[in-house]
Structure 1
């Protein structure tokens, strides 16, 4: 049965995965995020440390503020401006694919993005809002990196370059060779910026953000919109994009507003008006091991894992997974570009979203009370706190984890079997 299912998955998904892997733009996109990964993980670690649950209750307010201020630059210099690193990575990798000088592809992509980025903050010119350098500017950054790298390649292939004499050092010759292609590429983006300054959007950044955010906002805050958001998060992550950051940049204004309505009603002792809020997502989906509720995968690894690879992954991923940091699982299992786990990766969060929504809409479980629970709060505890200290919230999280374990069971068993057999073959050759 397992062999037949394995063959079915391979025949259906592997050809698609091969085509995606061979697509130069998706490869550059994936590799661009891999360039930023060490910085992202560094920032994530210090976010967990800086937001350790209930630390603010254990020490004075002044001490807690000083503690967070001391650790804040770690995430501010990495996670908050991760778009910059991704842009450089995409431009570098795409130019490298074409056999060009990759470093110039990276820097021209970054410079093009900065040209299109608003440089005014609250009336002060020459200041770039850091939010735009992160998730908010991610879409524009990706498009800009692709276009800038392609334009740079086009001008280089046209041989519109300055050629230096043979005796000139290589680094100097390459710098002059890139001068004209970079100048022409950045001029195109400067013209685009000037054109948009005469439109109602004022900047390309506002245009991109508006055309993406407004249609999604119009979907509303009901179950269909939430399922779409959850699916998009999962799909983005499958292709190596940080789906949570991308989708949150669009949906957070909606979810936080709904959250605030619930908090006001909760404090006034009134009926909670909304089911889907920021804490609905953070506590009952992301708050169970990270995106995709991967704490259930860790539990399953300890239950059925036979291969050394999965056993070691479980040991490495468990401590971080308890606090909803799941990069070890995302990239170690791996989940990115792994067609064998695509089905549970997409299905499990949708099923849990539907279960949670109907459990709350029918009154079995209170909706989120609007209390902002730190996203690093461990599962079960976060469900209890998010629902206003209701035990039903904790029970619902435990039930949802069980559901995810059941959905993942056959797929992880197949993956573990493959790893185990590969390890045995390696040992027999030795």
Structure 2
């Protein structure tokens, strides 16, 4: 790979510096593994502060704090007697370094037509072009899903891959519903690559793949704010735009959710208030008669979560959900590649209580028998910002797990 000169790199960085949030002085704090007694307090804190990863009993919590928030969060941890450390003392330099690397890679390693890039993170416009190129180049098996427009006017698309057999069962994968979780999108792109190349996979099922479920937020995370999570639709608080799209689905919407507009998990003004979420949810309902597997790909946590997020009470087919996720199926297939151990857990007990989430909607409203959220590996300064060098290892180890899951579900 040809290296850019320092002068060119400096020009690229300065060209977008004015718009890009610096995160200068922001810290990333990491707690010791949490106790059951601490979890209720941490769950309440997570409604106000930006917790990363998957805090849970026996696992540490990671939280990003501004210079103003740091003493408040530290004092709260001290009151709870939760020991913690400063994982990143100043996030600003790391954000700048990663942005400079990304700009350099975009110039030195441009995407080739009809080819997904796995040596760098692709921007929304590149991903959308790749979807159309794949459909244009494979008209007998690929068709573009016209899902509609985002609040910001971006037309967003998924892809259907099928051999055209009538009455075929269907499987669904979506990625990047949380904007900053860039590592999820290459997983969806890898699924597209594999299914296009292998007719036997299309004989198994019709495949629906949505690489970017939150186009406005994803685009904004590249242009303005690396750690942006939500949509970009304004709220009643002009200083706090955006809704958490994974709390906006029409299933137990707002049950116990916060009404703080600035919260990272603000659920919106009503179920399906976000046009992107409504488009996605309604499409899932349209294909629900044939849909047997729903998978939302997130990062991070190395977990395979199954419904429900609002209760730890087991769902009727819990044994099948666990068997498909673990045993000889998905988690074992992932571990066989490089030894990464994914755990398989109920969403409420493994993550935290959630309402209006996409997998619960697919399971509870769409009657999709197998519904999961995959939390990928962590990376970078605190988990959400893995380097580009991590893309290929993650997609290489996760794809066998996805395939094993599909094969198990269709066989059972």
Shorter-chain TM-score: what band?
under 0.3
Bigger radius of gyration, 1 or 2?
Answer: 1
What TM-score comes out, normalization by structure 1 length? 0.25
Answer 1 or 2: which has greater helix percent: 1
Asked which structure has the greater RCO (Cα within 8 Å, sep 6+), the reply is: 2
TM-score normalized by the length of structure 2: 0.26
Whose strand fraction is larger, Structure 1's or Structure 2's? Answer: 2
